[in-house]
Amino acid sequence: MTIKTDIKDNEIILAIETSCDETAAAVIQGGNQVLSNVIASQIQSHKRFGGVVPEIASRHHTESITGILEEAMTKADVSFSDLDAVAVTEGPGLVGALLVGVNAAKAIAFSHQLPLLPVHHIAGHIQAARLEREWDYPALALVVSGGHTELVILQADGEYEVIGQTRDDAAGEAYDKVARTLGLPYPGGPQVDKLAAEGTPDVKLPIAWLEPDSYDFSFSGLKSAVINTLHNAEQRGEVIPPENVAASFQQSVIEVLTEKTKRAAEQYQVKQVVLAGGVAANQGLRHAMENMFASSSVELTIPPFSFCTDNAAMIGAAAHVQWKKNITADWDLNGVPDLTLY
Amino acid sequence: MRILAIDTSTHVMGIALAEDDKLLAEYTTNFKKNHSLRLMPAINQMLTELEIDPKQLDAIAVAKGPGSYTGVRIGVTTAKTMAWSLGIPVYGISSLQMLARNGRNFQGLICPFMDARRDRIYTGLYTFDGTYLKTEEKDQIILLEDWLSIVKEKEKPVLFLSQEWNKHKGMIHDTLGDQVRTGDFSMNQPHPESLLALAYEQEQAQPAHSIVPEYAQMAEAEKKWLASKEGRGYE
Ligand SMILES: [Zn+2]
């Protein structure tokens, strides 16, 4: 691309996120000032299907994209001439959904001859921490969401090293499936969290620690164990209080997440730990992380709820790192559903 | 008045640019290769060669479907977002009408169609009155068999225009016999300059926010959901 970025520190970025079922746009200044953060959630529409339907998500994105962008610009009180760059989630995510954001971003960047900054969705979740405080390196991020469960080491700005990830279901996915088994409405993750707070974790469920030195996760066995336990009880005509099932499931998930995070924090001697992603809104997980690092010298950062679930402010925060490194995309930028972290 | 035309609704990707009554540039490819990746580089090259700044555009015309869901979304999203950000309006034009324009000057009925899988087609019926294309039967998705019986009753010559002509010509010939007329390969392919011509004919463009794709049908999941809600089977 021929457009030169004039690298300054207080740049204004219009950021777009459409990787799943939220159409989101935000205006971010200098990587940490949120001038606006607008999200159109499609939850009501997908609720009737019990999960996100990719084609429906793509249709909603196309309908609402320019309205959301306009709202973000208006709320931030900026015009196109104030913008220094346009950022967008390149992947991973639903391909049809990603395409809407990517093509919208290219359309704006091209129309106003602005640099185009590609952002990895997980880098966005991690960089939401930047909206809270400056990074202290080395740092460790635990990213937990409907699509991801990852432990990532950061040695410097935007240098991500994935040291652990899920081998099957993401934690959030397991939450949603357990919620469905318990007959809780979609989206089920927060419902399980709420129910767990009322229960006693007295149901025996497995924890998949995997190999002793592994930072990977596995939740499909746990999920199956919940389903089997409920099924077997039903066969015997017994009723296990659902709040106890939720509490036991939640305890198993949280124990493996917090233990591996702690071990990685020690091994890599990190100064900061960040809890990121939609499941960071989970009260049980938040408290467990807070307790785990309460008496340590490690700084624990948990971005506010609105920056943990999918949003565009986090994409703008991650784009700031791209901006400083002058990493721009050409007009052939495309949505990449299985993009690896950069 | 400068209008940029965009069509990515089928395997054909086409862009064109007109200034008043002059077609300045047209670029078309016809092969299955990523429109999302190739559209903006193509627009960039066209405008760069013409030395036209995006801000000098006055309107955008886009093929809004029916067609490939993803393809239509790429074109519509690009068109509406460019238009919104430039503060200019959009002409949303039926992808079938765009194809039907290849049959202008034909005296009978013009039937553009696209394959919609499972023996169905996206189609409509148009006539040309010497100046304008008129809609005889609105755009729809329909079983080819049902459509052919509708067309047969018209008892007029029908010009079929389609990229998928060869796939369906047997059944069409068998059903309609000597009613059938066909076009050559160029007539079977949508041309982006048709969008410009049709845009000029339209009285008013739309504000960018309001333009949405015409899918001609609900998403599969929505059809199933409606069927289950109404307590009937899903066919
Ligand atoms: Zn996410």
User: Does pLDDT of B171 surpass 60?
Assistant: yes
pLDDT value, residue B230: 81
CB contact under 8 A, A332 and B215: no
What separation, in Å, do the N-terminal and C-terminal C-alpha atoms of chain A show?
20
Q: What counts of helices (H) and strands (E) characterise chain A? A: 11, 10
Does any CB of chain A come closer than 8 Å to the CB of residue B73?
yes
Domains in chain A, CATH or no CATH each: 12-127+308-324 (3.30.420.40), 135-302 (3.30.420.40)
**CA–CA gap between residue A205 and residue A214 (Å, rounded):** 21
Count of Cβ atoms closer than 10 Å to residue A303 Cβ: 26
- Residue the block writes with tokens 């000098």: B56
With an 8 Å Cβ cutoff, are A108 and B85 in contact? yes
**Does residue A164 or residue A305 have the better pLDDT?**
A164
Instruction: Reply yes or no on whether the pLDDT at A7 is more than 90.
Output: no
For chain A, the 3-state helix, strand and coil shares in percent, each to the nearest 5, are 45, 20, 35
Over residues B133-143, mean pLDDT: 96
Query: What pLDDT score was predicted for residue B23?
Result: 97
Question: pLDDT by residue (tens digit) across A282-293?
Answer: 999 999 999 999
Each residue of A207-247: pLDDT tens digit? Answer: 999 999 999 999 999 999 999 999 999 999 999 999 999 99
Q: How far is the CA of A123 from the centre of ligand 1 (A)?
A: 10
> pLDDT digits over B77-115, tens only?
999 999 999 999 999 999 999 999 999 989 999 999 999
Using a pLDDT cut of 90, give the percent of chain A over it.
90
User: What's the rounded Cα separation, in Å, for the pair B142 and B156?
Assistant: 20
DSSP 3-state of A90: strand
Residue B140 pLDDT grade (very low, low, confident, very high; cuts 50, 70, 90): very high
Least confident of A168-177, A325-334, B222-231: B222-231
pLDDT band at A1 (very low <50, low <70, confident <90, very high): very low
Compute the average pLDDT of residues A133-147. Answer: 95
From B214, which residue of chain A is nearest by alpha-carbon distance? Answer: A59
Does domain B2-95+189-223 match CATH 3.30.420.40? Answer: yes
With an 8 Å Cβ cutoff, the interface of chain A facing chain B consists of 48-49, 53, 55-56, 58-59, 61-63, 65-67, 69-70, 80, 96, 99-100, 102-104, 106-108, 110-113, 330-335
Contact flag B209-A66 (C-beta cutoff 8 Å): yes
Q: Is the pLDDT of residue B44 over 60?
A: yes
Residues of A in contact with B68 (CB under 8 A): none
Residues with C-beta atoms within 5 A of ion ligand 1 = A 145, 310
Check residue B73 and give its pLDDT.
98
Residue with tokens 């060869």: B166
Beta bridge partners of residue A209, listed in sequence order: none
Q: How far is CA A297 from the centre of its chain?
A: 26
The dihedral through the CA atoms of A44, A46, A52, A55 has a sign that is negative
Q: Ligand 1 centroid to A144 CA: how many Å?
A: 8
Read off the tokens for A60: 């909603």
- Do B2-95+189-223 and B96-182 agree at the fold level? yes
Q: What average pLDDT does this structure show over A195-203?
A: 95
Report whether pLDDT(B234) > 70.
no
Which residue from B7, B202, B198, B16 is spatially nearest to B101, judged by alpha carbons?
B198
- Report domain extents, chain B: 2-95+189-223, 96-182
Mean pLDDT along residues B207-229: 92
Task: Flag whether pLDDT at B151 surpasses 70.
Answer: yes
Tell me how crowded residue A208 is: count the other CB atoms within 10 A of its CB. Answer: 18
The partner residues of A160 in beta bridges, in order of sequence, read: A154
CB B99 within 8 Å of CB B112: yes
Over chain A, what is the mean pLDDT?
Answer: 94
Please report the pLDDT score of residue A4 as a whole number.
Answer: 54
A52 vs B41, more confident: B41
Span B96-182: which CATH code? 3.30.420.200
Distance from the CA of B127 to the center of ligand 1, in angstroms?
50
Q: Measured at the alpha carbon of residue A110, what is the angle toward residues A106 and A113, in degrees to the nearest 5? A: 135
- Within chain B, residue ranges assigned H as helices are 35-50, 69-86, 95-100, 144-153, 165-176, 192-201, 220-229
Q: Which of A59, A63, A111 sits opposite B54 (nearest CB)?
A: A111
Give the other-Cβ count within 10 Å of A110's Cβ.
Answer: 24
Residue B9 has pLDDT above 80, yes or no: yes
Q: What is the mean pLDDT of residues A30-41?
A: 96
For A126-165, the three-class secondary structure string (H helix, E strand, C coil) is HHHHHHCCCCCCCEEEEEECCCCEEEEEECCCCCEEEEEE
Q: What is the pLDDT of residue A141?
A: 98
Chain segment A152-179, per-residue pLDDT in tens: 999 999 999 999 999 999 999 999 999 9
Record: contact A332-B40, CB cut-off 8 A: yes
pLDDT at B204: 83
